[in-house]
Amino acid sequence: MAARADKPEVETRRPMSNREPCVVCRNGFTVTWCDTHGIAQCTTCGTPYRILHYDDAGKREDKPPECLFSEDSMEKTRKFHEATGARLSAVALGLSFPGGYDVATKEDIQAGLDHGLLRKETDE
């Protein structure tokens, strides 16, 4: 089943410390890498975070994690996660390749489709 999310509106969020909870599900900050370099997902809700930061010259910078969602996307994801307990798919968000790293299960993806957070891909 192919599902895709509309690209979330990305904005630079207030940096957070590693001790703060996830800004969406509010659980402890535990992430796992996805296929996009420097980006990881919350293991509880699937929210993506920029973990590795670079300056304009490509040199690593020491910065705290930043959520990649706008306030609107965070609120939609929060409501979805609270209603279903499901996680967002890194593949559907365009952050991982099909078959790549993803915290979402088939059931999570189906919940995203059922709640209108994801949509089936078409060949139109």
The domain spans of the chain are 13-117
What is the Cα–Cα distance from 59 to 79, expressed in whole angstroms?
Answer: 37
pLDDT of residue 5: 54
| Token couple for 10 | 């990305």
**For 44-99, what is each residue's pLDDT tens digit?**
999 999 999 999 999 999 998 999 988 888 898 999 999 999 998 888 888 888 87
Average pLDDT of the chain to the nearest whole number: 82
- Average of per-residue pLDDT across 1-24: 59
Greater confidence (109 vs 124) lies with: 109
